Chains A and B, each alone.
Chain A
Amino acid sequence: MSAPFDLNDDSVVVIVGSGAGGGTLGTELALKGIKVVILEAGQRHNMEDFVNNEWESFSQLAWTDMRTTSGSWRVHKNFPNLPAWIVKAVGGSSVHWAGASLRFQEHEFKTRTTYGDIDGANLLDWPITLAELEPWYAKAEDRMGVTRTNGIPGLPGNNNFKVFEAGAKKIGYQEVSTGRMAINSEPRADRGSCQQIGFCFQGCKSGAKWSTLIAEIPRGEATGNLEVRPQSMVQKIEHDASGKVTGVVYVDKDGKTQRQKARIVAVAGNSIESPRLLLNSASNMFPDGLANSSGQVGRNYMRHMTGSVYGIFEKPVHMYRGTTMAGIVRDEARNDTKRGFAGGYEMETLSLGVPFMAAFLDPGGWGRSFTSAMDGYVNMAGLWIVGEDMPQETNRVTLNTDVKDQYGLPVANVHFDDHPNDVAMRNHAYSRGAAIYDSVGAVRTFPTPPYPSTHNLGTNRMSEKARDGVVNKHGQTHDIPNLFISDGSQFTTGGAENPTLTIVALALRQADFIAGEMSRKTI
């Protein structure tokens, strides 16, 4: 039972965005008895409505509102208006995530201390440690039903994994498994087990994969304390003369402008929209945007060092059958500068269908070199590399005042250049990925460039000191006590791991903090 709250109810917590951060925070607060309104820009779909067709699903789910790009990254050349492949729908990008649920390593919370002063990198230690986050990781793993935790067995390996596993073991990797996945390997929490459908990126039609859409928000709504308003695009956060936020202005599903009052506002629109909203909320009191006294809002945009390696074999693999991200090699995730770079990376299996393979294998490529690779599709195995990239102040989300969205607001421009450390790590990962496949008889391998970003991080980063970042260790903005950031834009640095588990752990921890502060009436 969802609870419609009045627009003038200034006792509610308003959350902007319903993904891994916002959907979890809203649900957890509702379970604690706190009234919550989640404003979600996208529509609400049922899992039965998801489509096993890549382009059709892209039309259904992807965030395709206008954005612009700049910088030397190849995404700018090939996909100038699609910097990120993320979701605009209730559940946010938890609808299309792969499910990999990894904890950060201890040193990844202390990168400035561990890696030192790397030229051009704006490294900073997180204001929290692994030890502080461990109980919240444990809570998140239980809640999400992560395999290989809480006694939950690992998923069975599909064909793509078997090739990957055989190659990885042959070249000496030790930490090879079907990973820790928020996909049920057996029925749990009223959701069934994985049917090996594939199409994890297109929304799980069986409900085996955790998302806030199916696993969190309905629980929150059942309390009567949570209302989710889909197709509600927040334009601006408002504040009073004392500098505290008072609510948000949004455009509702009928195109009408509404004003929802709030006791607390939490922003969880992913690392492009969240800083954009803070910047678009500039006022006389906050001329550079809300919570931006440090000048760090929108800066330090990270997208993980990524890339893919596909290998073609003499015989069929059918890599697309079953779990999209079906296994992992963790041996390269450590920090070992003997490899020529700081930080580390994971290798995780990945597959694309024919339509997306054509679009992403070598964007812009054509001719027989390209098509002979496509001709080998059925014999192909694939892996994705995901590693820590260096935060750089110049990698940045800014407002592009020359280009307006459908509401007349400046769109986000995403500027990105690789750091030399990112390039060195990617080249290392390409060669190791190719070695995995070569060792089990690949005929050809392809180092495939990064796709539009799925892991968008760092643009409202967490810092101990107000001058270094946007939020404190609880995601509370340094400047405005009742304004929070609840998504991956809080990340001080990115780690090598897929970010969702950390986003959920931080959201659960933040819910605890907010509830405590509310009961103490400090906010």
Chain B
Amino acid sequence: MPTLIDRRGPSRRAVLAGLGAAGALMVSGAAVLNPREAWGLEVTALKPETMRTLIVMARDVYPHDRIPDRFYAIAMKPYEADAAKDPALKALVEDGVVTLDTLSKAKYGAAYADLGWEDQRVAVLREIEDSAFFQKVRGGLVVGLYNQEEVWPIFGYEGASADKGGYIDRGFNDIAWL
């Protein structure tokens, strides 16, 4: 499980600065912060703005309104460690975010993560969905997000059952509405 760094919460100025379209996600120093969920994620290999954009992008690719930001952040966190080891990957990610912002500014006049409407951000993503950058992020995310055991209960999935004796006495045939 990647470690997200709990923080005491950002300054009021940072909170106000963060009231952009990226919701509760803001950049402070070398970290991306989410004061509402009381976590922060420090980055050194990637720019903090890049990590913030990745987290926004992650939610736009697989938007689940009941899943808090931190699970998207956990899914994106490996790019920080991988970028530190792999200059080509770092360039792919940083350049990908630059392209995203360039397209976004041309189309809607603001950086991708600052666009207020998901529809607009998705329209920008559609323009790059065949790119290596998008495919890398989506391909990692489909495992990185949905393979987190902590998100399974949000979907009503109970995970491992052998250690609980299976479902023979725990509702394998309990459907009552048919």
Contacts and interface: CB of A to CB of B under 8 A. Distances in A.
Contact of B172 (A51, A159, A315, A316): A159
Contacts of A159: 171-175
Interface stretch (B4-12, B42-50, B59-67, B85-93): B59-67
Interface in B158-172: 158-163, 165-168, 170-172
A321 interface: yes
Contact of B171 (A318, A355, A367): A318
B117 to A, nearest CB: 13
Interface string B99-125: 000000000000000000000001000
A201 interface: no
Interface residues of B, number: 37
B2 interface: no
Interface string B139-176: 00011011100011001111111110111101111110
Contacts of A197: 161-162, 166-167
Contacts of A72: none
Nearest to B143: A55
Among A156, A163, A355, max chain B CB count under 10 A is at A355
A53 B159 CA distance: 7
Among B138, B146, B171, max chain A CB count under 10 A is at B146
A31 interface: no
B147 A52 contact: no
A194 to B, nearest CB: 8
Contact of B162 (A205, A315, A367): A205
A315 B157 contact: no
Contacts, number: 124
A121 interface: no
Given A162-B178, A371-B62, A374-B64, A322 B172 contact: yes
B156 A378 contact: yes
Contacts of A194: 166, 168
Contact of A318 (B138, B156, B162): B156
A436 to B, nearest CB: 13
Given A196-B168, A206-B162, A370-B62, A377 B156 contact: yes
For chain A, what secondary structure do more than half of its interface residues adopt (helix, strand, loop), or is it mixed? loop
Interface string A166-185: 10000000000000000000
A162 to B, nearest CB: 5
Given A196-B172, A206-B162, A440-B178, A367 B155 contact: no
A310 interface: no
A306 B122 CA distance: 32
B172 A52 contact: no
A320 interface: yes
A374 B155 contact: yes
Contacts of A162: 173, 175, 178
Contacts of B161: 52, 197-199, 321
Contacts of A392: none
B167 A321 contact: yes
A353 interface: yes
Contacts of A320: 157-158
Contacts of A166: 178
Nearest to A356: B146
A157 interface: yes
A317 interface: yes
B61 A367 contact: yes
A358 B167 contact: no
Interface string A55-88: 1000000000000000000000000000000000
B166 A195 contact: yes
Contacts of B174: 159, 318
A194 B165 CA distance: 10
Nearest to B60: A367
A199 B155 contact: no
Interface of B: 60-64, 66, 122, 129, 138, 142-143, 145-147, 151-152, 155-163, 165-168, 170-175, 177-178
Given A51-B160, A314-B177, A378-B156, 7 more contacts: A194-B168, A195-B167, A197-B161, A197-B166, A199-B160, A368-B63, A375-B66
The 3 closest A-B pairs by CB, nearest first: A378-B156, A195-B166, A52-B160
Interface of A: 51-55, 156-159, 162-163, 166, 194-199, 205-206, 314-318, 320-322, 353-355, 357-359, 364, 366-368, 370-371, 374-375, 377-379, 440
11 contacts: A53-B159, A55-B147, A163-B178, A195-B166, A206-B166, A318-B174, A320-B157, A367-B63, A371-B62, A375-B66, A378-B156
